[in-house]
Structure 1
Amino acid sequence: MKLNKNGAWKSDTHAASASGVVRDRNRSWLWEFTRNLGCCLLLEAELWPILDGLNLLWMQGFRCVEIESESAAAVCIISDESVAKHSISLVRTIRAL
């Protein structure tokens, strides 16, 4: 399964939303999701769609998931295993999945 995600964030108001698309191994569209995040930090706007997409896939029984993100910061913070207990709960929850 492949999760393509997008976090949208406005720098002037910090208003944000999260969305994503789930595709199968043949790249066929399966479903999409979206969430209004209200006001948050840019990094949170990049992390929420990863968590939402993983939760959606886990509920459907999928455990092998490729995540595609345009956010280098989100990818680095999630994949950096040297930070065992990160202060951002979103990162800890994503890692737990």
Structure 2
Amino acid sequence: MGFAKAIGHTNSLQAELWALFEGLSLSWKQGFEKVFVRSDSKQVVDLVNSPSAASSVLSLVHSIHRLRQRSWATFVSWIPRNNNRPADAMAKLASFSDVSLHVFLELPLGVDLLLHND
């Protein structure tokens, strides 16, 4: 399962935080009890894993913290960008003119090969 969503013009930190928030929200709605997230943004991983995430001035960090405090297990870890090509390919599937969330129940063509090589 995967997703894509256009969020408009923003900086890379906000885009990565939105991706994490949307991914965790979707996982919760699907009833997952344990979620492992791999992000190529060291800054995001450090922010959401920080003991001060609950009191972060960044609203998305605070929202992500609240999601992670629910009755489930979430693990957020850093991986190098070149090991995260499937996620980058999924992010590029979002249409900039459509801000709705697109959920993929099957891997889109081309992403399956990237995932296999990952």
Answer yes or no: same fold by TM over 0.5: yes
Question: Normalising to structure 1: TM-score of the pair?
Answer: 0.64
Q: For 1:39-72, what per-residue CA distance to the aligned partner results, in whole angstroms no more than 9, with x for missing partners?
A: 1122111111111111111001113111100000
Runs (5+) with no aligned partner, structure 1? 1-30
Question: Normalising to structure 2: TM-score of the pair?
Answer: 0.53
Q: Which has the higher strand share?
A: 1
Runs (5+) with no aligned partner, structure 2? 68-118
**Number of corresponding residues:** 67
Runs of 4+ displaced beyond 2 Å? none
Shift of 1:83: 4.7
**Bigger RCO (CA 8 Å, 6+ sep):** 2
Report the AA paired with residue 14 of structure 2: E
Taking the TM superposition and a 5 Å limit, the aligned residue runs for 1:1-97 are 31-97=1-67
Mapped to 1, the partners of 2:53 and 2:29 lie a distance apart of 27
Q: Rg larger in 1 or in 2?
A: 2
CA RMSD in angstroms, aligned pairs only:
1.2
